[in-house]
Amino acid sequence: MELGTLVVVGLVIIVALIFDFTNGFHDTANAMATSIATGALKPKTAVLAAGTLNLIGAFLSVEVAKTISGGLINEDAVTIAPEFILAGLIGAILWNLLTWLVGLPSSSSHALFGGLVGAIIVGAGAAGVNFGAVLTKILIPSILAVIVAGLASFTATKIITAITSRMDQSKVESGFRHGQTVTACLVALSHGTNDAQKTMGIITLTLVAVGAQAPDSSPQLWVVAVCGLAIALGTYMGGWRVIRTLGKGLTEINTPQGFAAESSSATVILASSHLGFALSTTQVCSGSIIGTGLGTKGNEVNWGVAGRMVIAWLVTFPAAGLIGAFTCLFTKFGTAGTVFIVVAAVVAGFIIFRLSRRNPVNAMNVNERSDVKLNADSDTAAQAA
């Protein structure tokens, strides 16, 4: 293998693992936001459980890794060069970081596919993209996920309220706490079995592209291990900003509502992935929380936050695509261009991180009400207390 190719492959693997990490911390909220908000689990315990289950999940299956592009990319029509993959990953990472900064849950998978599609359009031409699949696998499911999850969660909440309304409410709260923990763990495990594999698929695709691995072969064990560790570490770090939005920003949640939301999320994720109509975990979990908010009498859904979230979902694919496309332009300048975009992405990531320090959200203030403004001073005071 030439030195230039080796550098690019090395960069792709490193950047893919960074994407995996951001995927983990961006999606911790999916499984654990409601459990943290209701106090069913302590924040640190919740992220530790989610991280561990993501790691276990990564080892359970490699089925998704074999079909990484999900039909969005015409792999027969174009050759996917490692540089395109790198540009796509950078688009996905930057979009993940931007949405994390503003605390909006958005699909890491859609960001990844968007970045890849943008990079491939610039790198190999529009013939490389199956636009029909973009419509049916990305845009339409984004809207339908909220309807399915919201309706399931709304129904579950109504049933729970009808059956338990005459019970001692303290017993109801404690009774549903156990159920909520179990269902949250199921969501975390299913996340590990799905999302870690996308990075495994990306790394495997790169190794196949440079002839370091046979085509159509499964990810190697070291790839499975590092991807599992990266997503688990990211999950453990906890995307507290997104957790706060989902747990406290959308609606007020108690343990029965948390149970209804988590059990509906787990049901919709499993039903959709096994009945051939894949839906984004992020969108399903957010839809479930909205559904339980609507199903609870006297509860209100913050439609401002919900609206911003839906816009973020719809924008994720094209936005990550634009970043991926722009980044891919630089890869045409060879290894120097490729190294430049990686350095530029690191700088952009650092700037986003610095901006996040102005209003830090962490395990200690994650359950503050959504209308409470956080700033660096209050965080220092909280840590000192």
What is the Cα 319 distance to its own chain's centre?
16
Q: Which of 159, 351, 355, 381 binds another protein (CB under 8 A)?
A: 159
Distance CA 206, CA 10 (A): 10
C-beta of 71 vs 125, nearer to another protein: 71
Q: Which residue stretch of 39-47, 116-124, 188-196, 376-384 sits at the interface with another protein (rule: CB under 8 A)?
A: 188-196
CB of 334 to another protein, least distance (A): 41
Hey, what are 304's tokens? 């401002």
Distance CA 237, CA 241 (A): 11
Instruction: Determine phi and psi for 358, rounding to 5 degrees.
Output: -70, -35
CB of 41 to another protein, least distance (A): 17
148 binds another protein, rule: CB under 8 A: yes
167 binds another protein, rule: CB under 8 A: yes
CB of 255 to another protein, least distance (A): 11
Q: Which x/- pattern, by CB under 8 A, does the window 104-133 give for another protein? A: ----------------------------x-
Q: Which amino acid is at 273?
A: S
Hey, what are 66's tokens? 């074999």
Q: Which of 255, 263, 281, 286 binds another protein (CB under 8 A)?
A: 263
Count the Cβ atoms, other than its own, within 10 Å of residue 275: 8
283 binds another protein, rule: CB under 8 A: no
C-beta of 193 vs 327, nearer to another protein: 193
282 binds another protein, rule: CB under 8 A: no
Number of residues forming the site for another protein (CB under 8 A):
48
155 binds another protein, rule: CB under 8 A: yes
Hey, what are 347's tokens? 């700088």
147 binds another protein, rule: CB under 8 A: yes
What is the Cα 40 distance to its own chain's centre?
22
- Residue 67: partners with Cβ closer than 8 Å, 6 or more residues away: 201
Instruction: Determine phi and psi for 359, rounding to 5 degrees.
Output: -135, 70
C-beta of 151 vs 322, nearer to another protein: 151
Q: Which of 45, 52, 61, 218 binds another protein (CB under 8 A)?
A: 61
Could you tell me if 102 and 309 are in contact, meaning their C-beta atoms sit under 8 angstroms apart? no
Residue-wise DSSP of 182-215: HHHHHHHHHHHHHHHHHHHHHHHHHHHHTTSS-T
CA angle 162, 163, 166 (to 5 degrees): 90
Q: Which of 78, 81, 268, 309 binds another protein (CB under 8 A)?
A: 268
* Contact residues: another protein, CB under 8 A: 57, 60-61, 63, 132, 136, 140, 144, 147-149, 151-153, 155-157, 159-160, 163-164, 167-168, 171-172, 175-176, 179, 182, 186, 189-190, 193, 259-260, 263-264, 266-268, 270-272, 274-277, 279
